[in-house]
C-alpha cells in the first residue's frame, strides 16, 4: 500500500511537471559523467533508475541527500524517445537542466501545488520579483545552452532541420517556459511547476529564484519536520 502510494505520488509529480521519461534506460552513452557512484546510487534509490543524461547532483539537503541533479540537454529520456530521435543523429532533447529528484520534498511541494500555491505566487510577485524571475528563466536557458558540447552546439546552429530543437534548448526557461523576445512585466510567463523552480533555486543559490524562495519558505512553515 505504502509503495503504491509512493509511486502514485511520484507519477503525479512527474506528470505535473511534464517529465515524460519515467522509463529506465539501458546501454545508453553517458556524456560528461562524473565518477560519483555514491551519488548515482542515492539518485537511483530516489527515482528507481539513473537518468541516461546524468551529469551530477546539483543540490542537496542539509543531510546530504540529493534534491536535484543536473542533466545533459541531449540524449535523455526513454529508449523509445531516443530511438525516435536517431533520425536527427543528435539525440532526444532534454530541456530540464535541473531535474528534481527528492521524493519527500517532492511530495510536500505537490501538496503546496494542490493547495493552489502556484496561483498564489503568480498573483503576488511584485515588480522586482518579476524581473528576478525573468532573469532566472534567461539564466536557465543560457546555462543549458552553454552546457552543450561545442560539437553539439555547432550542429544545432548549422543544421536547419534542427531549428526547432535548437529553439527549445536555447530559448526555453524553467519548466519549459518559452521566452519571447519582448518580455512584458505585466504578463510574466505562467509558473508551471513549483518543483522545477525549487530545483533551480536550490541548484543556483546565488540566482535567488523568487518562486523557489517562496516555496522554500512555505516548506519550512508547513512541513517543519522536513529536512531541507
Ligand atoms: C518585493 O517582494 C520582496 C519579497 O517579499 C521584498 O523583499 C521586496 O522588498 C519587494 N520589493 C518591492 C519593490 O516592493
pLDDT in tens, the chain (228 residues): 444 444 444 434 443 343 322 222 222 333 344 558 999 999 999 999 999 999 999 999 999 999 999 999 998 766 666 666 555 568 889 999 999 999 999 999 999 999 999 999 999 999 999 999 999 999 999 999 999 999 999 999 999 999 999 999 999 999 988 887 545 555 678 899 999 999 999 999 999 999 999 999 999 999 999 999
Per-residue pLDDT, 91: 82
* Ligand 1, atom 1: closest residue by C-alpha: 126
Per-residue pLDDT, 30: 34
* Ligand 1, atom 4: closest residue by C-alpha: 129
Per-residue pLDDT, 36: 86
Per-residue pLDDT, 26: 28
**pTM, rounded to two decimals:** 0.81
CA Rg value for the chain: 17
| Cα(119) to centroid(ligand 1), Å | 18
Mutate to test the pocket of ligand 1, among 120, 121, 124, 126 (most ligand atoms within 8 A of CB): 126
Which atom in ligand 1 lies closest to the alpha carbon of residue 210? 4
Which atom in ligand 1 lies closest to the alpha carbon of residue 127? 13
Per-residue pLDDT, 81: 62
* Ligand 1, atom 2: closest residue by C-alpha: 126
Per-residue pLDDT, 21: 29
- Ligand 1, CB within 6 Å, residue ranges: 126, 128-129
Nearest CA to 77 out of 53, 55, 113 is that of 53
Structure-derived torsion over alpha carbons of residues 70, 72, 75, 78, reported in degrees to the nearest 10 = 10
Amino acid at each position: 500500500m505504502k509503495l503504491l502510494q509512493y509511486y502514485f505520488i511520484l507519477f503525479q509529480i512527474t506528470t505535473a511537471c511534464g517529465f515524460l521519461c519515467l522509463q529506465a534506460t539501458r546501454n545508453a552513452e553517458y556524456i560528461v559523467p562524473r565518477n560519483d557512484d555514491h551519488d548515482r546510487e542515492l539518485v537511483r534509490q530516489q527515482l528507481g533508475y539513473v537518468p541516461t543524461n546524468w551529469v551530477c547532483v546539483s543540490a542537496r539537503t542539509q543531510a546530504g541527500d540529493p534534491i536535484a541533479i543536473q542533466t545533459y540537454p541531449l540524449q535523455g529520456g526513454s529508449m523509445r524517445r531516443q530511438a525516435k530521435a536517431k533520425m536527427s543523429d543528435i539525440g532526444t532533447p532534454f530541456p530540464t537542466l535541473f531535474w528534481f529528484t527528492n521524493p519527500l520534498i517532492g511530495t510536500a511541494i505537490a501538496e503546496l501545488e494542490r493547495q493552489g500555491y502556484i496561483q498564489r505566487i503568480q498573483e503576488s510577485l511584485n515588480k522586482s520579483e518579476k524581473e528576478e524571475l525573468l532573469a532566472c528563466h534567461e539564466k536557465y536557458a543560457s546555462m543549458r545552452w552553454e552546457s552543450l558540447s561545442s560539437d553539439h552546439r555547432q550542429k544545432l546552429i548549422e543544421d536547419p532541420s534542427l531549428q526547432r530543437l535548437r529553439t527549445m534548448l536555447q530559448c526555453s526557461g524553467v519548466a519549459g517556459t518559452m521566452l519571447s523576445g519582448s518580455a512584458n512585466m505585466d504578463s510574466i510567463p505562467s509558473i508551471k511547476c513549483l518543483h522545477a523552480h525549487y530545483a533551480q533555486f536550490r541548484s543556483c543559490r546565488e540566482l535567488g529564484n523568487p518562486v523557489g524562495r517562496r516555496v522554500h519558505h512555505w516548506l519550512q512553515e508547513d512541513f517543519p519536520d522536513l529536512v531541507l
